[in-house]
A = this chain, B = another copy of it.
Amino acid sequence: MNETKQKILNAALDLFSQNGFSAVSIRDICKVVDIKESSVYYHFKNKQAILDELLQHFESIATDLMSQLEQALSTTQKTFEVNLFKKICDCFFEKYLMDEYCNKIMRLLSIEHFSNDEMQKIYDYWIFDKPLNFQTKVFSLLVSVGIIKTADSKYLAVKFYAPIYLFMQRWLFCGTLTDEHKQFFRENAYKHINNFFKEMAGI
């Protein structure tokens, strides 16, 4: 892709994820990229088009990761459960929640989903519905193979995901995404996951 266009996208993502779409002006972006405002309109139809391209790219990444997970889930047999778990850690935590690009988009969605219907939809889908649905399927599997006794896999998914979501909001979606914050998130999240499965096994 064109170099300037990519710079604009990068700068826009940085700024949007920190202040939201509407609070960032074309001028702000241009200051970072060091081009004139009119030049932006060579690469993008309008401000919204920058956002659209960022969101579209995010959705293609997220779609890909999620389909990898679905794939892993559908091919999982008793003996491969460990692999599924590893895949979830890799695709959902590292490459999704903690990935710099995805994370910035999520913070942007967190800001704008209040006043923008389209972003509300994307937010709900990728932050709530999709993860919870997938995790529900995972727990259904664990129930069906007898690892877990409880039948309400939907509630299990909430119990599993809610603390992670809380840590996300606490450490990943606040201010600048520092390594420190990332570390806080990782520690708390993994501690929770371990505890969760320990208790699960206990039941």
Bound together, the chains give a CA A163 to CA B158 distance in angstroms of 6
Write out, one digit per residue, whether chain A residues 152-170 have a CB within 8 A of any chain B CB (1) or not (0): 0001001101110110011
Taking a contact as CB atoms closer than 8 A, the residue among B20, B111, B158 that contacts A192 in the complex is B158
Bound together, the chains give a CA A175 to CA B159 distance in angstroms of 25
Main secondary structure of the interface of A (DSSP, over half): helix
The complex is assembled from copies of this chain, and their number is 4
Which residue of chain B lies nearest to A123 when distances are taken between CB atoms in the complex? B174
A110 CB within 8 Å of chain B: yes
Taking a contact as CB atoms closer than 8 A, the residue among B23, B107, B159, B173 that contacts A159 in the complex is B159
Which residue of chain B lies nearest to A150 when distances are taken between CB atoms in the complex? B199
Asked if residues A166 and B161 are in contact (CB atoms below 8 Å), the reply is yes
Write out, one digit per residue, whether chain A residues 31-70 have a CB within 8 A of any chain B CB (1) or not (0): 0000000000000000000000000000000000000000
Q: Which of A81-89, A93-101, A113-121, A133-141 has 4 or more CB atoms under 8 Å from chain B?
A: A113-121
A10 CB within 8 Å of chain B: no
Taking a contact as CB atoms closer than 8 A, the residue among B20, B115, B166 that contacts A114 in the complex is B20
Which of under 10, 10 to 19, 20 to 34, or 35 or more describes the interface residues of A?
20 to 34
Given A155-B195, A165-B162, A166-B166, residue A115 in contact with residue B20 (CB < 8 A): yes
Residues of B within 8 A of A195 (CB): 155
